[in-house]
C-alpha cells in the first residue's frame, strides 16, 4: 500500500543530519565529497529506490567496510526509513534530528532525490556498486522509458560506476525482468549472471539479503528474478 504523504516531510528531510542535503541549493547542484561525508575513503554503494530502507540498512550492518547511500524520491518514504532506523537503534534516539543517528549508522546515509539527477550529484567513475531492488515496473509500453533499467538510466549508471563495477537488479515482475535483460544486452554493460528463481538458485542466492518487497512477494509464492551486470 502506498504511504500517504506526510505533511512537512520535505522540511524534516532538510533538517535531519542523517540525510544528505548539502549538495543542492535550489535548482543548483554540487558534487558530493565522499570523504567529507563519511570521513573515510571506503567504497561507495548506492541503492536506487530504497523504499523503507530495510535492504540497505541490513547491508550497512553486514558490510562495515563499505559506505552506503540509499536514494528515494519521496520525502515521506525517506522519513519512514529513518523511523525504522530509530526503532532498531541501540542508542536512545528519539527523533529525526538526533546527531546520534550519524554515529549509530556511520556508513549509511539517505538522500531524497530524483534518480535522473544523479550525474549532477555524483562524479563520474566514483561509485563501486549500484543496487536496483523491485523498481516500479511501469507496465504500459508508453511508460517503458521510466523503468530504472531502461537504456537512458543505464547510461547514467555507466558514467557513475568505476570501470569493472557491478549493477545488481532484483524483481518479481517477469515482464520487467525480460525487458531489463534485453536492455542490458544492448548496452555497454556485460551480463555476468541471471536467474528467474533466485531463492532456488544455489549459486546466486548465497548471502542474499531480502528487501521488504522480496519477503512479501516470496511469501505469496512469487519467484524472484535477479541479474548481475558489469561495466
Rounded to the nearest angstrom, the gap between the alpha carbon of residue 75 and the centroid of all alpha carbons in its chain is 14
- Cα 87–213–198 angle (5° rounding)? 125
Q: Which one is catalytic: 33, 95, 124, 136? A: 136
Grid coordinates representing 152 are 537512458
Active site residue 36: no
Q: How far is CA 195 from CA 140, 167, 215, in A?
A: 24, 15, 17
Catalytic residues: 136
Amino acid at each position: 500500500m502506498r504511504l500517504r504523504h506526510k505533511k512537512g516531510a520535505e522540511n524534516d528531510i532538510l533538517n535531519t543530519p542523517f540525510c544528505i542535503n548539502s549538495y543542492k541549493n535550489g535548482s543548483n547542484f554540487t558534487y558530493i565529497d565522499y570523504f567529507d561525508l563519511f570521513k573515510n575513503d571506503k567504497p561507495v554503494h548506492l541503492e536506487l529506490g530504497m523504499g523503507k530502507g530495510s535492504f540497505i540498512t541490513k547491508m550497512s550492518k553486514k558490510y562495515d567496510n563499505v559506505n552506503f547511500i540509499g536514494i528515494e524520491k519521496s520525502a515521506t518514504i525517506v522519513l519512514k526509513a529513518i523511523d525504522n532506523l530509530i526503532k532498531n537503534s541501540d542508542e536512545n534516539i528519539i527523533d529525526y534530528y538526533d546527531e546520534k543517528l550519524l554515529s549509530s549508522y556511520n556508513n549509511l546515509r539517505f538522500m531524497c532525490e530524483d534518480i535522473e539527477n544523479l550525474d549532477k550529484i555524483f562524479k563520474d567513475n566514483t561509485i563501486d556498486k549500484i543496487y536496483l531492488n523491485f523498481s516500479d515496473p511501469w507496465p504500459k509500453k508508453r511508460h517503458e522509458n521510466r523503468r530504472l533499467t531502461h537504456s537512458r538510466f543505464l547510461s547514467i549508471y555507466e558514467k557513475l560506476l568505476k570501470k569493472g563495477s557491478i549493477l545488481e537488479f532484483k524483481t518479481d515482475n517477469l515482464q520487467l525482468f525480460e525487458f531489463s535483460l534485453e536492455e542490458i544486452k544492448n548496452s555497454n554493460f556485460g551480463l555476468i549472471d541471471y536467474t528467474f528463481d533466485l531463492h532456488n538458485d544455489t549459486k546466486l542466492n548465497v548471502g542474499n539479503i531480502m528487501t521488504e518487497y522480496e519477503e512479501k512477494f516470496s511469501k505469496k509464492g512469487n519467484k524472484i528474478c535477479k541479474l548481475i551486470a558489469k561495466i
